Structure 1
Amino acid sequence: MAEMAVSDTLIRLPNRPGFDERLPHLIDAQTGADRCAAVMMLDLDRFKNVNDKYGHPAGDRVLVEVGKRVAALLRECETVARLGGDEFAVILRKLDCPGQASATAERIIDAVCRPIMLREGEVSVGTSIGITIFPDNEGSSDELMKCADLALGEAKRAGKGCYRFYDPAMQEEVSRKHAMAEELERAFDEDQIKVYLQPILLLETGAVTFAESLVRWDDGTPGPLAAGEFIDVIDEFQLAPRLEHAVFSQVFGMVKQWHHDGIDYPVVTLNLSAADLRSSKFCERIIAAVEKHELRADMFALEILETALFERGAETVENNIRRLSDLGFRIMLDNFGVGHASLTHLTCLPADYVKVDKSLIACIQPKDAGETIPGAVLKLAKGLGINTIAEGVENERHLSWLMSMNCDYAQGYFFHAPIPLKTFDLYLRGGVFASSEREGLAQYRLTNS
């Protein structure tokens, strides 16, 4: 009975209590020793996909195989334990230098990512690893585990399938994020989270046909913060529902007013996160919000980062994209050309528009013809009958090249910076969009066409 209390009955390795029992002995043994030791925390990547597709019994067999593979790489004096779920921990002992921990981490990553054969079929998972070195990072068992966990979080943010060593700066980053999360809570309470709109022009006529909604944190100080500076905190501290409510209420409320007042207005685009698309309830939430404001789905376009197609829950993401399209929303595949999206995704998903990433547009040179990456993306989309939008148009050179390539739409600071929603409303009600300060650019009339 005592053995069962400290062992994982599924994969016959130490469990969390068993690991916690062994870790203090490691600390005592290393105190004053010339050599170092390491504590690793492992979290499996893409494991949820196995459970979702084949069921939990298949997932259990994957855990057993992963446990065997990791244990086979360790020396007799070292330990691997299953902490729970798809989390494992490893104790490495008698290390001459941290580089030995790096080598072991690389071997573990390579071993775990090898395909696993199940009765249901072949599956592939991966692992991310956080490492803390003792006695470089001294402390209690709980403190060492906390350090390894912080390093694990950093590894997962770095793109998964990699390892990271604990650094004291990680704790400073955690403190910064906690402070920012508290400030964001107040920002939502005080309506400091604002929607800005950036015009997207139809290049053939110069008409502003779309407007991308962008989030800004405007606390009254000069220069509001762009979403990229705080979106990781929104996700990590489960503030996404508050952000969603703020964006939906501002955008749908304004479009409802424009529609009621009979004003010509562009199709407003909304940026969706991978978390939105992984949620089984998101489709219901967004269509409920649209209908609450007496609007229709076809009045809006949804921008989807191509990276969302490759994160965990990719099958759910693709199903939700199809459902949103069926509901009437226009679908834009955002930042295309810098990730891993392929011809398969363009042909299988209901993409109405492809947005060529601004990093590709920035590389355009006057002598460039179509034999460039952005040129290839434009030709590919055109060949499939998908409308093209260029992001990050900053100068006349970009514009001329895009027009020579028959790109359909463009947006960027060459035309206009993102505009506060209320200011955009004033431009619409004036009947004429704000004229550009750049020489040679005319005013742009708004249209729904």
Structure 2
Amino acid sequence: MRWGVDSSLDQLVLVNNAKRALDRGHFELIYQPVYSVDHREVDSLETLLRWRTRPNMLAAAQEFRAIFRDPALSLSIRDFVLEKTLSQAAQWRAEGHDFGRIAVNTTAFDLCSGDFALWLSEMMDAHRLTPDMLEIEVPEPAFYGPQAKQVGLALEALHYCGFSLALDNFGATHAGLAALRQHPFRRLKIDHGLMRSALTNPIDKAIVRNVISLGHDLGLIVTAAGVESEAQMETAVQLGFDSVQGFFVCFPKEAEMVPRVCQILNLQGRSA
């Protein structure tokens, strides 16, 4: 299901439906492994938000992105995602499961609301986790709007507190290069659309190859997101990506399945 918001009334209905869904527990989290090409094992996990619109249907976040225009709802969802993610990470750790880092997506509004770094550090302490276990994914468009300066200050605070930073959707706008110059990212994730274009467009393929080289020169882990076919996987390996993420490697999984799935991927990598 996709929600096209054509009017303020449509937006109001969508936001009200989302608020009820959040109160009733209809928002869920699933987790997708990020696979290291070099080490042939799971490098980290990414938390993905889903809305259960029907008993057998989960809507992906891009299908209801309009709800994040509502400031109060956006913060409520941010808090839900982080609290549940950290609780799950603490449980995996207590059970002896090594998940590397776990990544969460943020918006410019998330980063600029209050003292995000301090609030997040306190949450980590409450769950007995350390900041290096969490990676904050910042979408490239966050550096393109009126909140760009505030986003930059928030990232400085997060880095100071010890959190890892990832620049997501690189190539979606023209703001990515400036962001790389100004902020201490650990990971660079290439935009899905640019990856798809690289399969058939030699110019885009050359752009991706040079972006990977730039990332490596800066000491970054460069990840191919949205790898959904064998052809995309082969291209990602040929181009020199450090890690890959997408349906071809592994579909997102519910929390209880993640340790077993990671174990299988790691065993397959060691035997390859």
Where in structure 2 are the equivalents of 1:28-177 lying within 5 Å? 173-177=7-11
Where in structure 2 are the equivalents of 1:213-232 lying within 5 Å? 213-232=47-66
Superposed CA deviations along residues 312-339 of structure 1, whole A, max 9, x for unmatched, are 1222211111111111111100000121
Superposition TM-score, scaled by structure 1 size:
0.55
TM-fit CA distance, 1:367: 9.2
Alignment length (residue pairs): 267
8 A contact 2:143–2:176 mirrored in 1: no
Superposed CA deviations along residues 225-244 of structure 1, whole A, max 9, x for unmatched, are 11122232233262122212
8 A contact 1:347–1:384 mirrored in 2: no
8 A contact 1:196–1:216 mirrored in 2: yes
Matched, 1:383 2:208: no
What secondary structure, in the 3-state scheme, does the structure 1 residue paired with 2:57 have?
Answer: coil
Matched, 1:245 2:70: no
Larger radius of gyration: 1
Superposed CA deviations along residues 235-293 of structure 1, whole A, max 9, x for unmatched, are 32621222122112211011111111222223110101010122232222211211111
In the aligned structure 2, how far is the partner of 1:365 from the partner of 1:191?
40
Once the two structures are overlaid, the 10-residue window that deviates more, 369-378 or 314-323, is 369-378
What secondary structure, in the 3-state scheme, does the structure 2 residue paired with 1:224 have?
Answer: strand
TM-fit CA distance, 1:219: 3.9
8 A contact 2:198–2:205 mirrored in 1: no
- For residue 187 of structure 1, the aligned residue among 21, 35, 39 is 21
What secondary structure, in the 3-state scheme, does the structure 1 residue paired with 2:38 have?
Answer: coil
TM-fit CA distance, 1:422: 3.1
Match of 2:143 in 1: 309
TM-fit CA distance, 1:343: 3.6
Match of 1:108 in 2: none
TM-fit CA distance, 1:425: 4.7
Give structure 2 stretches of 5+ with no counterpart.
Answer: none
Match of 1:323 in 2: 157
In the aligned structure 1, how far is the partner of 2:109 from the partner of 2:200?
40
Give 4+ residue runs of structure 1 displaced > 4 Å after superposition: 366-371
1:347–1:190 distance in 2 versus 1, CA, 3 Å: same
TM-fit CA distance, 1:378: 1.0
In the aligned structure 1, how far is the partner of 2:180 from the partner of 2:234?
26
TM-fit CA distance, 1:222: 2.6
Larger relative helix fraction: 2
What secondary structure, in the 3-state scheme, does the structure 2 residue paired with 1:362 have?
Answer: helix
Residue type matched to 1:249 in 2? E
Matched, 1:443 2:262: no
CA-based RMSD: 2.5
Matched, 1:432 2:257: no
Residue type matched to 1:377 in 2? V
Superposed CA deviations along residues 21-46 of structure 1, whole A, max 9, x for unmatched, are xxxxxxxxxxxxxxxxxxxxxxxxxx
Seq. identity, %: 25
TM-fit CA distance, 1:421: 2.5
In the aligned structure 2, how far is the partner of 1:378 from the partner of 1:310?
22
In the aligned structure 2, how far is the partner of 1:335 from the partner of 1:201?
18
In the aligned structure 1, how far is the partner of 2:234 from the partner of 2:196?
13
In the aligned structure 2, how far is the partner of 1:328 from the partner of 1:360?
30
What secondary structure, in the 3-state scheme, does the structure 2 residue paired with 1:364 have?
Answer: helix
Residue type matched to 2:248 in 1? F
TM-fit CA distance, 1:370: 9.0
Residue type matched to 1:361 in 2? M
1:366–1:293 distance in 2 versus 1, CA, 3 Å: same
In the aligned structure 2, how far is the partner of 1:340 from the partner of 1:390?
19
8 A contact 1:351–1:386 mirrored in 2: yes
Superposition TM-score, scaled by structure 2 size:
0.89
Match of 1:202 in 2: 36
1:343–1:173 distance in 2 versus 1, CA, 3 Å: closer
TM-fit CA distance, 1:444: 5.0
In the aligned structure 2, how far is the partner of 1:245 from the partner of 1:343?
30
Match of 2:97 in 1: 263
8 A contact 1:337–1:377 mirrored in 2: no
